[in-house]
Chains A and B, each alone.
Chain A
């Protein structure tokens, strides 16, 4: 079975990279948070991004979301530089993310948070909204339908109308994933989705990430400290340490890499 799976991917023609990070450097008053980072992610792959605490993984996500400015280097998505794209333009390109320390809209319900994830999918402007035209109502109905499907998928239907702030951390992390998926992204950035959930839930999460990748034909960039999760579902793993890439390859290659072993042992 597993062989049958690997044959088409070997037979497939070489695809161009969806995401290309080239020589990206980020400096915070003397601290090199990212140091000449380069790697690329192929379309349809799950790419794990690992590294000890403070390695620069979240900083890289914030560069991809255009929340941080990189001092040098370039990031290309579908071959187009993110340089001129403002942070609110990233969603329209098809990139959605979750936040490590949760950035849910605290006054909203779970459903409202997920609906907000689809913001960039609708286009109605001020005049249409002031009059609540048929277009607005049609957009809202579509968003509502899609959001409810995502709540179902992420097992959140029970808590749809609860305030996000009242839910346990692990559940809030799932709301973050649902909200990101509501954009119908082509690339999903997940920052430590397994943080704060138990062993069984990690197994479920692994299945979920694979499933959404296949069903929604996503490319996934996954930051995670949970090594067995990363190694089991990733097609490619990139390891960072002190802001620099120390390994980039298949999970097996990266696990064997002496620099990676040293970084984790030294950090502990």
Chain B
């Protein structure tokens, strides 16, 4: 069909354009921002990494985790401990934290995924609930510093780059987000990404195509834990502090809400979800210092009702509306 092939080209060109434009905006952004805004923007970037991972699991593979905050916490603690107790440079701890979470994710996923249904959701819920308490245990106190938590010194920009420490951390995080985005995009468009979607849509048929369903589910869980762990590791450096109570169940639920509000099963959904995660609670506490979470909750409900396909769905609708108008005019 000639129409579809001529549609495919501008589609991919439009996507390249969109990614390029977003990249340019993200690179130039710190110039326009205050120190605190730069910090917030950095938080958005690192949450986006976590949400990319969670979206692979929930959006593309159809599994539910109510406990990804636990992997965020593990990543943060690995970095904080390696930097503070072992003197390892902060930049080298990020991939280590990711790998630790990959391994824990796979080990955790193997038994949980053997069982059908919602066992994974329940097991992750348990993990998120237990982790802050585990971090406070006396046995680990030599490393975790118990309830006190660990301070991480803020790194300066290296190689004499003319950047403030906050600006440097912004670009440092942006680098990891770019990598995370690239790897996710590569994986999702290839046979493994298609297998992940096939498992979500029709697990029995996927198996008949030769897809080892439990292997890919476990690996997807591990990979999403890696992404979230890297985000957590970055947060330890950016926030310069980790403590058990920063990683309550609340964080896990926020991740899940953000990915649904951002847009399940889309790459952009992660970025939109991250913006929501940072901006809306801030706005909420500006509106009412007494009950910010009530306002946050109401915002969540409104978003879900107004945009069942997430922010990505809304943006797409607007975008298509714009690009369709001239075509309709030409046809008339």
Do A and B interact with each other, yes or no? yes
Nearest A residue (CB) for B188: A129
Instruction: Report the separation of the CA atoms of residues A143 and B173 in the bound assembly, to the nearest whole angstrom.
Output: 37
Instruction: Give the total of A residues in contact with B, Cβ under 8 Å.
Output: 42
Do A129 and B186 have beta carbons less than 8 Å apart? Answer: yes
Q: How far is the CB of A123 from chain B (nearest CB, A)?
A: 9
Complex: A130 Cα to B219 Cα, angstroms: 13
Contact of B87 with A by CB under 8 A? no
Are the C-beta atoms of B192 and A126 separated by less than 8 Å? yes
The reply on A104 being an interface residue by CB < 8 A is yes
6 closest Cβ contacts across the A-B interface? A120-B210, A91-B210, A103-B205, A105-B201, A132-B186, A129-B190
CB of B224, distance to nearest CB on chain A (Å): 13
Residues from chain A with a CB closer than 8 A to the CB of B193 are 129
Contact between chains at B197 and A91 (CB < 8 Å):
no
What string of 1s and 0s marks CB contacts (under 8 Å) between A111-130 and chain B? Answer: 01001110110101110011
CB under 8 Å from chain A, chain B span 198-214: 198, 200-202, 204-213
B327 within 8 A of A: no
* Interface membership of chain A positions 159-182, coded 1 if the CB is closer than 8 angstroms to chain B and 0 otherwise: 011000000000000000001000
Q: Can you name 20 A-B pairs with beta carbons within 8 Å?
A: A67-B208, A86-B212, A88-B208, A88-B211, A88-B212, A97-B208, A106-B202, A108-B197, A108-B201, A116-B195, A116-B198, A119-B198, A129-B192, A130-B183, A136-B191, A157-B1, A160-B1, A161-B1, A161-B4, A161-B8
Distance (Å) between the CB of B201 and the closest chain A CB?
A: 4
Contact check, B208 vs A96: say whether CB atoms are below 8 A apart. Answer: yes
Number of residues from B at the complex interface, CB < 8 A: 30
Interface centre among B183, B195, B206, B210 (most CB of A within 10 A): B210
A92 lies within 8 A of chain B by Cβ: yes
Q: Chain A contact residues: over half helix, strand or loop, or mixed? A: helix
Report the Cα distance A160→B5, complex, angstroms.
10
Contact partner of A126 among B189, B205, B207, B219, CB < 8 A?
Answer: B219
- Do A88 and B207 contact each other (CB < 8 Å), given the known contacts A106-B201, A129-B192? yes
CB contact list, B24-51 vs A, under 8 A: none
Q: Is B187 an interface residue (CB 8 A)?
A: yes
Bound CA–CA A261/B238 (angstroms):
78
Tell yes or no: B248 within 8 A of A by CB. Answer: no
Choose from B194, B201, B265 the contact partner of A119 (Cβ within 8 Å). Answer: B194
Whether A90 lies near B208 (C-beta < 8 A) is yes
Collect the chain A residues with CB atoms within 8 Å of residue B200's CB.
107
Interface of B is mostly: helix
A residues near B198, Cβ cutoff 8 Å: 105, 108, 116, 119
> In whole Å, how far is B198's beta carbon from the nearest beta carbon of chain A?
5
B208 touches A87 (CB 8 A): yes
Residue of A99, A129, A131, A158 contacting most chain B CB atoms (<10 Å): A129
Q: Which residue of A88, A89, A103, A120 contacts B202 across the interface (Cβ within 8 Å)? A: A103
Is A220 positioned at the interface, with any CB of B under 8 Å from its CB?
A: no
Tell me the nearest residue of chain A to B5, going by C-beta. Answer: A161
Inter-chain CA distance A130–B206, complex, in Å, is 21
CB distance from B230 to the nearest CB of A (A): 14
- Other A-B pairs, 11, CB within 8 Å; known A88-B210, A108-B194, A122-B191: A87-B208, A89-B210, A97-B208, A103-B205, A105-B205, A106-B201, A119-B194, A129-B191, A129-B192, A129-B193, A130-B187
- CB-nearest residue of chain A to B195: A119
Query: Nearest chain A CB to B94's CB is how many angstroms away?
Result: 17
Task: Give Cα distance in the complex from A70 to B32, angstroms.
Answer: 68
Answer yes or no: A183 CB below 8 A from chain B CBs.
Answer: yes
List residues of chain B with CB within 8 A of the CB of A88.
207-208, 210-213
Chain B positions within 8 Å of A99 at CB level? 205
Residues of A within 8 A of B208 (CB): 65, 67, 87-88, 90-91, 96-97, 103
Are B4 and A103 closer than 8 Å at their CB atoms? no
| A155 in contact (CB, < 8 A) | no
Say if the beta carbon of A214 comes within 8 Å of chain B.
no
Residues facing B in A179-235 (CB within 8 A) are: 179, 183
| Binary contact track A123-157/B, C-beta < 8 Å → 1, others 0 | 01110011110001001100100000000000001
* Least CB distance, A95 to chain B, in whole angstroms: 9
